[in-house]
């Protein structure tokens, strides 16, 4: 340990934190760092484009608890900025490692290639989308800085940034003196007051409901919320961002709540509740169904890593975990048995008449639900690939990934690679619109290189279908690809184009039965077809975005 270099220490420390795979694209300033990564126990998956590097590291982080993206200075780092912004917005714990010019290059401020404005430009830009950042200008302090940034990433579940000048990465590192960390504690009086008021509110309630959101999964607290729901016999819903953090076959589970986008049974139960218990919730416009959902603050209990609010009262310095554990231990009488308004049901098989009918989005998800195997990882891109999945039920916890708040197109294909690297035993299905696939679908080249076996479903509605339902115009048109030819280009996988419900069913059954091969399934749906949740969202957004509708 005493003779470790900065690079050696960095990747050994990341390995000790559970990293087994990193994602990256090399460049000259980063090559010395990549050499140390290659010598470490961590496998590197080289992607085709930097935005995909970030999305893959994000997908890995959502499954594994920490992800790593390695790129070069500015042309690599700034090209990856959007996917890091997505991880920040949705609290995904990933680390960005960037190579950089040497310390001696920076002394006289010369014009070095890849430099934008100053040598600190990239770090300052990443400051906006990371919770901690550093440039390792001194090997003496490098190890302490590495530990500081990675600890912040894991504590806050947000991205961090480490830039390594190429002349520092090979220098001997000085191991820091380990000091006892201050243990954060809740204010005892505020915690007691919050728990007392929350317990009284739940005890009075006739129709309480728990909404389990994404912070529970990010911080490993889901089991407490599930145990509380079981103990008190309270129904529990997820959000689009937290879909599947609890088993969707759990008898207390009532579906995905997303305001007006929700399934009717779930929506009505939540919005008629006199006590909505929000654990780790992001109160976003997507959570509210693109409009003001009918949730009154006076009837809500909100607990997150940032705030605790009971009705109209706020309580400072109350830790999320302490509140959850305190509520589970509180003496609250269990509620009477409730009738699940949206229980898990097996989708209906196709009738003989339906088999010859054209595929539509609703039937696509119905058939995915019928054919996918238990434990399948489901990765959905923005648009109907996500909205149509609201009613899709999975059995394994935390196997549904999407960027359901940030909503960046192109997320699913590289995120699926990250998920497959984190879960090497499970099967993965990526559901992607044709527009999103044209952004990052070339990452199938990485799938081929790594010998992976996903099922990739391209919902082909001939363009940017979501936008068409908001404001249509020629700007929503894309060039039609022969998507099934990509397997021929890569000399890898099997490709099938389906237009009927019967053909889709047969192809999905074949794909799930064949665990050896990658399958690319082009699912052709009518140009104007969409799921009911997407139609409702688009109608509302159209009333806001279209000036003529807004005036009327």
Q: What is the rounded distance in angstroms from the CA atom of residue 407 to the CA atom of residue 404?
A: 5
Residues in the chain: 552
Q: What is the rounded distance in angstroms from the CA atom of residue 157 to the CA atom of residue 521?
A: 35
CATH number of 354-544: 3.40.50.970
Q: Among all chains, which residue has been given the structure tokens 């204010």? A: 187
Q: What is the rounded distance in angstroms from the CA atom of residue 114 to the CA atom of residue 100?
A: 9
What single-letter DSSP state applies at residue 481? P
Instruction: Give the model's pLDDT for residue 2.
Output: 57
Instruction: Give the model's pLDDT for residue 291.
Output: 55
Instruction: Give the model's pLDDT for residue 331.
Output: 94
Instruction: Give the model's pLDDT for residue 293.
Output: 60
Residue 239 CB-half CA count within 13 A: 28
Contact 32, 170 (CB under 8 A): yes
What residue segments make up the domains of the chain, in order of their start? 6-165, 188-329, 354-544
Instruction: Give the model's pLDDT for residue 148.
Output: 96
Q: Is 233 left (phi over 0), alpha (psi -120 to 50) or beta?
A: left
Q: What is the rounded distance in angstroms from the CA atom of residue 61 to the CA atom of residue 55?
A: 10
Q: State the pairing for strand pair 300-303/308-310.
A: antiparallel
Instruction: Give the model's pLDDT for residue 79.
Output: 98
- Domain 6-165: CATH superfamily is Thiamin diphosphate (ThDP)-binding fold, Pyr/PP domains (3.40.50.970)
Q: Do domains 188-329 and 354-544 have the same CATH topology?
A: yes
Structure tokens at 276: 């909505």
CA dist 401 → 333, 397, 413 (Å): 35, 11, 11
Instruction: Give the model's pLDDT for residue 465.
Output: 93
Q: Is 390 left (phi over 0), alpha (psi -120 to 50) or beta?
A: alpha
Class level of CATH domain 188-329: alpha beta
Instruction: Annotate 306-331 with DSSP letters as a single string.
Output: S-EEETTEE-SS--HHHHHHHHHHS-
Instruction: Give the model's pLDDT for residue 180.
Output: 75
Whole-prediction pTM: 0.95
Q: What is the rounded distance in angstroms from the CA atom of residue 186 to the CA atom of residue 206?
A: 30
Mean per-residue pLDDT pooled into runs of 10, the chain (552 residues)? 86 98 97 98 98 98 97 97 98 97 86 91 97 97 96 97 97 84 90 97 96 94 96 95 91 92 91 95 75 78 96 96 97 92 90 96 96 93 94 84 95 98 94 98 98 98 94 95 97 98 98 97 96 88 84 74
């Amino acid at each position: 340990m005493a003779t470790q270099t900065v690079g050696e220490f960095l990747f050994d420390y990341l390995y000790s934190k559970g990293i087994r795979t990193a994602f990256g694209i090399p460049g000259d300033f980063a090559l010395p760092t990549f050499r140390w990564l290659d010598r470490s126990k961590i496998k590197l998956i080289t992607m085709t484009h930097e935005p995909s590097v970030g999305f893959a590291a994000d997908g890995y982080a959502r499954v594994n608890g920490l992800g790593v993206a390695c790129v070069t200075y500015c042309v690599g780092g700034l090209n990856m900025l959007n996917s890091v912004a997505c991880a920040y917005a949705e609290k995904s714990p990933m680390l960005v490692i960037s190579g950089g010019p040497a310390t001696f290059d920076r002394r006289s401020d010369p014009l070095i290639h890849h430099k934008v404005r100053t040598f600190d430009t990239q770090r300052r830009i990443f400051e906006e989308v990371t919770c901690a950042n550093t440039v390792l200008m001194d090997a003496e302090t490098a190890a302490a800085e590495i530990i500081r940034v990675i600890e912040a990433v894991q504590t806050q579940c947000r991205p961090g940034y480490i830039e390594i000048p190429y002349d520092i990465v090979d220098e001997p590192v000085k191991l820091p003196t380990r000091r006892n960390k201050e243990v954060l504690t809740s204010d005892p009086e505020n915690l007691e007051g919050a728990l007392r008021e929350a317990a009284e509110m739940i005890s009075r309630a006739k129709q309480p409901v728990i909404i389990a959101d994404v912070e529970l999964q990010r911080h490993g607290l889901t089991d407490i919320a599930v145990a509380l729901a079981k103990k008190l016999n309270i129904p529990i819903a997820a959000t689009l961002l937290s879909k599947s953090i609890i088993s969707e076959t759990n008898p207390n589970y009532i579906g995905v709540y997303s305001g007006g986008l929700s399934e009717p049974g779930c929506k009505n139960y939540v919005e008629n509740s006199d006590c909505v218990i929000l654990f780790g919730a992001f109160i976003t416009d997507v959570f509210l169904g693109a409009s003001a959902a009918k949730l009154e603050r006076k009837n809500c209990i909100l607990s997150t890593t940032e705030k605790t609010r009971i009705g109209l009262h706020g309580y400072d310095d109350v830790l999320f975990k302490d509140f959850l554990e305190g509520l589970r231990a509180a003496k609250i009488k269990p509620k009477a048995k409730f009738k699940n308004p949206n229980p898990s049901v097996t989708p209906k098989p196709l009738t003989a008449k339906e088999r010859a009918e054209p595929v539509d989005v609703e039937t696509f998800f119905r058939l995915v639900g019928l054919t996918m195997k238990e434990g399948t990882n489901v990765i959905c891109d923005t648009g109907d690939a996500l909205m149509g999945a609201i009613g899709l039920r999975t059995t394994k916890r935390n196997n549904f990934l999407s960027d359901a708040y940030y909503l960046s197109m192109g997320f699913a294909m590289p995120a699926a690679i990250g998920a497959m690297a984190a879960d090497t035993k499970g099967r993965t299905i990526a559901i992607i619109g044709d527009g999103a696939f044209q952004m990052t679908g070339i990452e199938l080249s990485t799938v081929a290189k790594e010998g992976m076996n996903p099922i990739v479903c391209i919902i082909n509605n001939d363009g940017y279908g979501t936008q068409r339902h908001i404001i249509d115009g020629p700007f929503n048109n894309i060039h039609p690809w022969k998507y099934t030819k990509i397997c021929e280009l890569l000399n890898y996988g099997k490709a099938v184009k389906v237009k009927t419900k019967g053909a889709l069913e047969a192809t999905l059954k074949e794909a799930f039965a064949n665990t050896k091969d990658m399958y690319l399934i082009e699912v052709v749906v009518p140009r104007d077809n969409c799921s009911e949740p997407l139609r409702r969202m688009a109608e509302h957004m159209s009333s806001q975005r279209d000036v003529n509708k807004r005036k009327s």
